[in-house]
Amino acid sequence: MADHVGSLFLPGDLIQNLKESEATKKILLGPGLRQENDLILTSKPGILRFREPNVYWIDSPQKRYVPVKGDAVLGIVTQKMGDVFRVDVGASESATLPYIAFEGATKRNRPDVKVGDIVFARFSVANKDMEAELVCIDKHGRSNGMGVIRDGGFLHHCSINQVRKILNPENVLLKTLGKNMKFETAVGMNGRVWVKGRNINETIAIINALAVSEFMTNEQTLSMCKKLADSLAGF
């Protein structure tokens, strides 16, 4: 139970005494955990994590992205093929994005997407045996911030851990940067971050802050952001 959480596991290790939710008597197994009959095994090397009430997963460093249904990712359009676009998302295979899966798109009214564009999209099909499929609309048919990302900015590649870290509600990096600088960002779960600041200097500063903060604690991040803001202001 508690003694397992926070310790290192290697692929194939057995995990026992998982805590189930009191209400539903169920356990949620996240990435890196595999069920084989009644046994729970690990399939990735890493640290076992737990979140109330019943969620377990393996926290492992990983650079190769594996598509997961529902994940929002940043992709690059590589090809137009009839009624779909091919999008490189950094996975083993490129994903498809139907042109109809944009907000307000119809058969006649095609979205304006060119080869080389960056799209922020969500996986609607992500199966290990099938080609992944992306959409740029949510379940209500609205774009919800997804779609082609235009007007400059910079696309930065980082590890998937880093992305998870900056999207964590407890992490202060983007919030603190947002207090000092005017910028816009799109963070894809596939380890790509697009940032657009007010000018190129600020964009570079934000990307640098992202790049160095991977192994920082919240306090270190705060002091780093403060230094950054000071130097940008010219002190």
Partner 1 sequence: MSEKRQTANLSKNLLQMKFMQRSVLRIEEEKNAEERQRDIDDEHWVLDVPDLQQKEQKYRIEPSFVICENLNYGRMSFKGCNLEIEKIMAANNAEKEYEAARESERETEVNDQEMAKRYSTLIGIIAKKFTNKRGRNSQAGKEENGDGPQEAKRKVPKVFPDPPKPSTLQKVKKFLKPEDS
Using an 8 Å Cβ cutoff, are 1 and 18 in contact? yes
DSSP of 62-75: --S----TT-EEEE
Report 200-219 residues binding partner 1 (CB under 8 A).
none
8 Å CB contact between 45 and 10: yes
182 binds partner 1 (CB under 8 A): yes
Map residues 84-123 to x or -, x wherever contact with partner 1 holds by CB under 8 A: ------------------------------------x---
CB 184 within 8 A of CB 196: yes
Nearer to partner 1, 84 or 187 (CB): 187
- Kindly compute the dihedral angle of the four CA atoms of residues 123, 92, 8, 23, in this order, to the nearest 10 degrees: 20
Q: Residues, the chain, total? A: 235
Do 69 and 55 form a contact (C-beta atoms < 8 A)? no
Task: State the nearest-atom distance from the C-beta of 175 to partner 1, in Å.
Answer: 8
Q: Choose which of 3, 25, 129, 219 interacts with partner 1 (CB under 8 A).
A: 25
Residue 114 amino acid letter: K
Distance CA(90)–CA(33), nearest Å, equals 23
Task: Choose one: 88-96, 103-111, 170-178, 217-225; the region binding partner 1 (CB under 8 A).
Answer: 170-178
Tell whether omega for the bond before 169 is within 30 degrees of 0, i.e. cis. Answer: no
Nearer to partner 1, 85 or 194 (CB): 194
Q: How far apart are CA 41 and CA 50, in angstroms?
A: 15
Binders in 36-65 for partner 1, by CB under 8 A = 40, 49, 51, 55, 57
Min dist. Cβ of residue 4 to partner 1 (A): 16
Q: Is 9 in the site for partner 1 (CB under 8 A)?
A: no
Q: Residue from 78, 148, 155, 183 that binds partner 1 (CB under 8 A)?
A: 183
* CB neighbour class for 147 (10 Å; exposed up to 12, middle 13-18, buried from 19): buried
Q: Is 69 in the site for partner 1 (CB under 8 A)?
A: yes
List contacts with partner 1 (CB under 8 A): 20, 25-31, 33, 35, 40, 49, 51, 55, 57, 68-72, 120, 144-146, 163-164, 167-169, 174, 177-179, 181-189, 196, 198
